[in-house]
Each structure stands twice: as C-alpha cells, then as structure tokens.
C-alpha cells in the first residue's frame, strides 16, 4: 500500500522556517517522517517577504513572495506559519483554515490575540490548528496538556517561559551583578533585543501564560490582559538576599485556580526555593511546572528559543496534523469554559518579600511593624542591613492577600522614617495558593 | 449529536486500579472526560483476584474474579490492565488485543519482556496498545516520544526512573548517611520493599530503559538484557567526594546512540554535575532527560509512583484510545529499527570517578599512575584523603573507553600497595558520548 501524499506550504523562512525546511528535506529523517506522518510530506512552497535575500537550504524553485496564494492553494493540506506578527499572518491563516487546510503556527502573539476565533474557524472547517512552538520553543507542553492531561484537573501552572529574562536573572545571581550590566551582556550575546521591553517588561511571558492557560483551564484567547510585572526593578541586593535565604529569583508566568471558578493569570518576579525544580532552570532555558489535582507536580524543561529547537516543535505539529488528515479527523484545539472568571491579582494570596530603605532611628521598626499589623499582614522574618542613613529592612511575610500587601506598601510610603520601598516580590512555597 | 458509548474494563483494583475507577466515576470530571474521549466511557467491569477483600470506591456490582471473561467480552472497547506481573496478565491482554480491543497497561515488566509481540498483535487487529504508566508514573514521556518527537533524531536518554533508589541516594546526600541506614529509612517509610533487590540492583530501572529505548530508538522489546549496576556499592565517602567536586550521585538509566548504528543501554550510578537539571530531582521523584539532535536537551519530571499519579497516566492513555476508537484508527505503538545493534557497555566512553584504598608509602602514586597509563586512561584530577593504612586516593579520569577502565581496575587490584577498589562511577558531562 503506497502512502498518501500531503502537500505542505511554509510562510516565513527566518531561523525557524529555514530549519523546518531542512528537517523536512533531511534524507536521514525520511523514513521516520513517513512513519510518523503516515503520509509522504511534499513541501510545495515557501513564501517570504523579500525574494532577493539569500535563503541557503531552501530550494529556489519553492520560493515565492505570494503568501496568500500559497495559503489559498486548492491542493494544500497543511500550512505552516512562522513569519510572526498579527497581520498579515492572521489573514493567511484564516484563508487556509477557511478552506479546511490544517494550520501549524508558532505565533504566540496571534494566538493570544485571536486564538479562540481561529480555533472555532478550524473546527468549523474540519481542520487542525496546532501551535506547540508558541510556548517554550522545543518543549512539547501544549500537546501534553491537550492529550495526556486532558482528563486531569490542573490546579496551577508556573512557567519560566522567557529565556531573555531568565538569562539576565541567572547572570545577576551567578555574578552578583546588577540589572543593567546583565541586560547589556544579554544584548551583546544576542539574547536580548536593542529594545528589550517585550521581554523584560513581561509582555512575551504574558502572551505565553494566556496560551497555556487556555489549554490548562479553558480560559478564552481573546487579547485579555494578564497582570504583569517585569524584572527591571530587581536589584543585586534582592538577588543576594534571596540567595542568603535559600531562594533564587525567577520571572514566573502563573495561571492558577482561585476558589471554585476563579482563575488568576499573572507574570511577576518570584522567590523560588533553591530545592524547587524551577530553581534549576538556568540561562536561556525554559520550563513549565504543572500541578495537577491527582497527577501531583510535573515539569517540562527545554530550549525556549532557537531555529532548530523551535522547528522540532513545529515538525511535531505537522506530523500530528498529517496523521489526522490521513485518518480524516481533526482535534479540537481547546474548549472554552464559560463558568470561569478572572480573579484580580489583588485578591490572590502569597508570601511576600519586602525591602525598605529606612532611617536608622529609635522606633522605626515599631512604626513599620504597626503598618503591617494594621493591614493584617503578619511578618515571618525580618533582617536589618547597614546602619544610619543606609539602613535597609528586609521582611518575609506570612501568606497574605496581595491587596493587603499593596495597602501596607502605601502606608509605609507615608512614614517619614521610610526613604523608599526597594522591592516587593512574591515567595513561591507551599503556602501560595 | 449524542456521543458514542465506549465500554471499559479494568483488571486489578490495587492502588492504581482503585484510583482509576475513582477518576472515571468523578462527577466533576465527567464533562472533561466526555470532551477528551469524544465518547462516553462506561466502566463495565473490574476484575480482581480476591473478591472477599474490601474495595472502597469500587461499585460492588462491577466486581468479578473472572478477568479472562472481562478481557474477552464481546462488547468491550478498552481493557485496562493494572494487575502487574507477566502471567496471567499477558494472557488477558492477548485475549483482548486478539479481538481488536484496545489495551492500556502499566505493566513495565511485561512490556520489557514481550512488548514487540504484543505491539504486533495490537497492530494486526487494529487496536491500540498504550503503556504510558509503565515508565515514570505520572510523567507523560512515552506519548511525547511517540508524537511530538516522532520526527526528531534522539541521541541520548538519561532517566531517574526508580524513586526508591533516588530516595535512598537523596538521603545519603542530604544526611551524609551510609547506604544501609538510608535503605532502612526508605523501608520504614514504605518507599522500599522488604526485599529491595528489584529496585536497588537496578532491575526495575533496566525494564524502564528498555521501554523508553524502544520508543526513542526503535530497539526491540523482547526480554533483552540491559547492562546493570545498582546502588548497593555506593558509600557515604563517595557521596561526600561527589559533593566536594560539585556533583550528586544518581542512579541513571541510559540509552544512547554509539556510532552510526549502535545503541548502548545500561543502568548505573553516576556523578551528575550540580548544575545539571537531573541533579535537582530529589527524593522519590522521577525524571527523564532527552537529548535530541535538533531539539537540544529536554527534561520531564514528576511523581514516579503512587496510585493517583500513576492512574492519571493510565487515564491519559484511555482517553487517547477512546478518541482513536471513535475515529476508527489506531496508533503504531513503536517501530523496530532492524539496522540497530546493541553496543556492549565495555565499548562505550565516559569520564570515570575511581577511589582506591592504598598503603600510604613512597612510590604508591607512581605505580598506580603507571597502571592507568598502560591502559591508555588519562587522569584529570587526583586527591588523597587520610594517611598511613587509612589512605584513600580518589581519581577523576578524562573520557576513556569503559573496557580500558575495567582493565585498569584489574591491574590496580594486582598492586600490593592497593588494599581495595572503593568505587568506580561514571561522571556525566559534555565529554560522555
């Protein structure tokens, strides 16, 4: 019995697109791909914006600058979109899905913006919409949530899903350096953009939290805002204090259940206990930590970026879409649970680390402690560094409502003995819900 | 459109079976299961050996002691086998597969013994054979190898796949205790059996290496022997030396390519660098570290045992088998690659840690170093502990052929100044192939 032939088109030939073309054409993989796809995959076109740029490894005859023409080809089976950005990528994907062509994309921004609509379009037309590479590069976490964990009730997901910020925080930790020089090093090595705000302000992580949350909990993908705090305010002194207390600082994307029908989604720096598996995620690596009601904790770790690692995730999706196409079925990308509501971060509970610059004079601690007490925030430990005008108080609270901690910070700012608030960072532990 | 009904039978109602019955009957999961299975799952029978034992949570009317009758029921769609052992489990599974009933099993011993034959039987009868829970408890590593990584060339897999030994080694490391008291504690806590040999001698890990290797590389599952060394020879002094050098000792199950068509499969204690993600796998947790040619390193971590964690993996398989059944297809469990051959461990290469008890007399180091040199094993570092009759030399070699290291040990034993060989443990690093 000869295998059916499926026609694949690719839009975008940057790092990921070029790597995918190489994987699809690699003779040493031919047998494995045929086996896994249950079909022969024929690459019929690669659409790029600029035809004059050299594309080593991409057969010249396949190149065109007509992406829409490729997406709307009558004989296409699978469209891969790895150009990025919202438009025109969205238009190409809609053209393909509208004709029942399955789509594989790595586009986290587009999925976070319009995923629910695109998923419906795919389903209505009997096509697959897969986007494994949109989160965590090579890490196959999305398929695991869709399949292996489809029957499990997920309680919380915490991810290190931005390699740039993890690289910067790892540098600050291993070299006791401050934020600015660590950012400079990340930029020199190509890990951070000249304008690093999408990474360091947490926008990239927030889009990924939205994508993971839709699969873990059934929250919609419709450009909703995730509460977001970046790493620009993390200082060497906080990293050092964290280390002394047995923690490392990581930028976490979190999605978790709060009460029977609430979901909190947010991005923020966190104190992670040194013994926690997430603490061992170094440099530009990514990881996603999932707590299921019955599975217990699970973690996935891997390269969060890079042409080939990301292309392997895209390839996994192409093979899945191919198998489905051959057997005439399609998967439902995710199901929206309408009974859920978003819980504001202020209403969530956590242990907090706070540092204050204070005047070292009699009665300061008493007045500071009084502010904590008035807002119902109790203190687990306190340490003072330095004396006189340089004094700094570092606190770790017991589990407290975030809104109460915010109110405590407001109250502390009004004290004349408090020069400034240095940091207010969540501490991940058993007490956080 | 009303969903089709699929009939599920379960053989075994121990920890895992009872947990699975609870998950299948949990009203709060009903909608999610219906969604994921694309069918209603009807539990039609639970077969047990001893009908007189109380089975809390298992509806009385479903219990029977006729496992073969359940497996051969004409209207069965999916059989779950969680009784363990080779026979009679194998007969039940064959009865079901032979009638085209899909089978989900957690039986690593049976899969390692007869997996290739069972997979062929499943395929020939258009049925699925899934066994996610056979390796790593709740960790969904097998489905990832079958689907997401189906197009990737795996170079090496290293797993902490036995929670008992990881618990013992973690205890030895955190409490600087010796093997015997750590084993005693594991036994007292129920982590180790009264006869712990299946765990501490590496038999359990070897069966799991065989199962993982069949999916990662296409090696057959036919009761082949895996080279195997347990943890009974690991002493407190080795753990302490490892820590001082920046390592932790873990029992690893390894499967890796050697040359163009060789596969080495083995189980042995290893020095793992403290910065390696496997070093952060504590207590009874399991983890599988996969190195793909293009994906780079990937790791999965989770609970390796326990009724509910294991049952969530079984449930994931049941849902997958259900989806396949509804759409009239089945997956190929794995494909055997006939071009591969097993490479004896002696022909593999690694960095090694060796410790020798020696008489502290002039010329000892020279004669010891001479033995290393004659066998082509070069020394990376050496340290001496103690003096006189208590002297111990600890070496770390450069990458060397295992056979040459074995010959070195033979040579060292013949030296009159060498009292005994304390340990010979592989060191995992970039140099190991």
**Which residues pair with residue B268 across a beta bridge?**
B252
Give the alpha-carbon dihedral of B259, B265, B266, B267, to 10 degrees: 130
Whether B132 and chain A come into contact, CB under 8 Å, resolves to yes
B contact residues 148-167, partner A, Cβ 8 Å cutoff:
148-153
Q: Looking at the 3D structure of chain B, how many domains does it have?
A: 3
Does any domain span residue A333?
no
Q: Is residue A283 domain-shared with residue A370, that is, in the same domain?
A: no
- DSSP classification of residue B265: E
CB contact under 8 A, A138 and B19: no
Q: Which of A108, A171, A208, A250 is catalytic?
A: A208
Q: What is the pTM of this model?
A: 0.96
A contact residues 26-65, partner B, Cβ 8 Å cutoff:
28-29, 32-33, 35-36
Q: How far apart are CA B283 and CA B162, in angstroms?
A: 10
Residues of B in contact with A57 (CB under 8 A): none
Looking at the complex, report in whole angstroms how far the Cα of residue B288 sits from the nearest Cα belonging to chain A. 10
Does any domain span residue B432?
no
Looking at the complex, report in whole angstroms how far the Cα of residue A281 sits from the nearest Cα belonging to chain B. 7
Residues of A in contact with B296 (CB under 8 A): 138, 302-303, 306, 308-309
From A151, A295, A319, residue closest to B319, measured CB to CB: A151
Q: Is residue B160 domain-shared with residue B289, that is, in the same domain?
A: yes
Q: How far apart are CA A257 and CA A352, in angstroms?
A: 19
What CATH number has the domain bearing residue B406? 3.30.70.260
Residues of B in contact with A145 (CB under 8 A): none
Q: Is residue B127 domain-shared with residue B163, that is, in the same domain?
A: no
Q: Is residue B291 domain-shared with residue B311, that is, in the same domain?
A: no
- Output the pLDDT for position B360: 80
From A279, A292, A327, residue closest to B327, measured CB to CB: A327
Q: Which residue has the tokens 């025109």?
A: A88
Structural domain ending residue among the three candidates B262, B295, B326: B326
Q: How far apart are CA A216 and CA A214, in angstroms?
A: 6
Does any domain span residue A381?
yes
Radius of gyration of chain B (CA): 24
Region of A262 (left: φ > 0; alpha: ψ -120 to 50; beta: rest) is beta
Q: Is residue B230 domain-shared with residue B171, that is, in the same domain?
A: yes
Low-confidence ranges of chain A (pLDDT < 70): 1, 430-433
Does any domain span residue A44?
yes
- B319 Cβ neighbours under 8 A, 6+ residues apart: A147, A150, A151, B33, B36, B37
CB contact under 8 A, A138 and B296: yes
Average pLDDT value for chain A = 94
- Output the pLDDT for position B39: 97
- Output the pLDDT for position B1: 59
Q: Is residue A40 domain-shared with residue A91, that is, in the same domain?
A: yes
Element (H, E) at A268: strand A262-273
Q: Is residue B156 domain-shared with residue B267, that is, in the same domain?
A: yes
Does any domain span residue B219?
yes
- DSSP classification of residue A85: S
Does any domain span residue B276?
yes
How many helices (H) does chain B have, and how many strands (E)?
Answer: 14, 18
- Output the pLDDT for position B433: 29
- A123 Cβ neighbours under 8 A, 6+ residues apart: A330, A332, A333
- Output the pLDDT for position A22: 97
Does any domain span residue A92?
yes
Q: Is residue B269 domain-shared with residue B213, that is, in the same domain?
A: yes
Q: How far apart are CA B80 and CA A319, in angstroms?
A: 28
Q: Is residue B71 domain-shared with residue B205, that is, in the same domain?
A: no
3-class DSSP state for residue A79? strand
Looking at the complex, report in whole angstroms how far the Cα of residue B302 sits from the nearest Cα belonging to chain A. 4
How many helices (H) does chain A have, and how many strands (E)?
Answer: 14, 18
Count CB pairs under 8 A between chains A and B.
Answer: 174
Count of CB atoms situated within 10 Å of the CB of B66:
12
Tell me the backbone φ, ψ of residue A415, rounded to 5 degrees.
-75, 135
What CATH number has the domain bearing residue B121? 3.40.50.720
Q: Is residue A28 domain-shared with residue A110, that is, in the same domain?
A: yes
Does any domain span residue B212?
yes
Residues of B in contact with A147 (CB under 8 A): 140, 143, 147, 316, 319-320
Looking at the complex, report in whole angstroms how far the Cα of residue A310 sits from the nearest Cα belonging to chain B. 7
Question: For residue A88, is the peptide bond before it cis, meaning its omega torsion is within 30 degrees of 0?
Answer: yes
What CATH number has the domain bearing residue B184? 3.30.360.10
Q: Is residue B182 domain-shared with residue B279, that is, in the same domain?
A: yes
Looking at the complex, report in whole angstroms how far the Cα of residue B292 sits from the nearest Cα belonging to chain A. 9
- Output the pLDDT for position B349: 95
Domain that holds residue B383: 345-427
Low-confidence ranges of chain B (pLDDT < 70): 1, 430-433
**Which residues pair with residue A250 across a beta bridge?**
A270
Tell me the backbone φ, ψ of residue B385, rounded to 5 degrees.
-115, 135
Element (H, E) at A289: strand A285-292
The tokens for A402 are: 């975030």
Whether B20 and chain A come into contact, CB under 8 Å, resolves to no
Q: How far apart are CA B25 and CA B29, in angstroms?
A: 8
Q: Is residue A192 domain-shared with residue A262, that is, in the same domain?
A: yes
Whether A145 and chain B come into contact, CB under 8 Å, resolves to no
Radius of gyration of chain A (CA): 24
Whether A302 and chain B come into contact, CB under 8 Å, resolves to yes
The tokens for A276 are: 């926690």
């Amino acid at each position: 019995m000869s295998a059916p032939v499926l026609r694949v088109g690719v839009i975008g030939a940057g790092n990921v697109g070029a790597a995918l073309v190489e994987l699809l054409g690699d003779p040493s993989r031919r047998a494995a791909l045929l086996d896994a796809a249950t079909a022969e995959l024929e690459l019929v076109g690669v659409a790029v914006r600029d035809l004059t740029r050299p594309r080593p490894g991409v057969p010249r005859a396949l190149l065109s600058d007509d992406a829409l023409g490729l997406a709307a080809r009558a004989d296409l089976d699978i469209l891969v979109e790895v150009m990025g950005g919202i438009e025109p990528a969205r238009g190409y994907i809609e053209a393909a899905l509208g004709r029942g062509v399955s789509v594989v994309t790595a586009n986290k921004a587009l999925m976070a913006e319009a995923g629910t609509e695109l998923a419906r379009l795919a389903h209505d037309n009997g096509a697959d919409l897969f986007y494994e590479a949109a989160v965590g590069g090579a890490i196959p976490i999305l398929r695991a949530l869709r399949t292996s964990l489809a029957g499990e009730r997920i309680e919380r997901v915490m991810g290190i899903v931005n390699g740039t910020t993890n690289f910067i925080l790892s540098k600050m930790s291993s070299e006791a350096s401050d934020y600015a020089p660590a950012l400079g090093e990340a930029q020199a090595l190509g890990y951070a953009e000249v304008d690093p705000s999408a990474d360091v302000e947490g926008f990239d992580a927030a889009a990924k939290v939205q994508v993971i949350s839709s699969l873990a909990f059934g929250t919609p993908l419709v450009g909703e805002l995730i509460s977001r705090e970046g790493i620009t305010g993390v200082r060497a002194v906080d990293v050092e204090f964290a280390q002394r207390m047995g923690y490392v600082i990581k930028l976490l994307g979190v999605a978790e259940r709060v009460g029977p029908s609430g979901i909190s989604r947010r991005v923020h720096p966190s104190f992670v206990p040194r013994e926690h598996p997430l603490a061992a995620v170094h440099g530009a690596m990514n990881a996603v930590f999932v707590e299921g009601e019955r599975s217990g904790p699970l973690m996935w770790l891997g390269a969060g970026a890079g042409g080939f690692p990301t292309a392997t995730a895209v390839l996994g999706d192409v093979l899945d879409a191919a198998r489905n196409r051959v057997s005439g079925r399609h998967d439902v990308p995710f199901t929206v649970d309408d009974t859920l509501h978003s819980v504001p971060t202020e209403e969530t509970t956590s242990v907090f680390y706070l540092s204050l610059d204070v005047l070292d004079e009699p009665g300061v601690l008493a007045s500071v402690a009084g502010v904590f007490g008035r807002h119902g925030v109790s203190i687990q430990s306190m340490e003072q560094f330095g004396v006189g005008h340089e004094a700094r108080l570092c606190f770790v609270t017991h589990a407290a409502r975030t809104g109460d901690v915010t109110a405590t910070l407001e109250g502390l700012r009004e004290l004349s003995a408090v020069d400034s608030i240095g940091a207010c960072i969540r501490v991940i532990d058993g007490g956080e819900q």
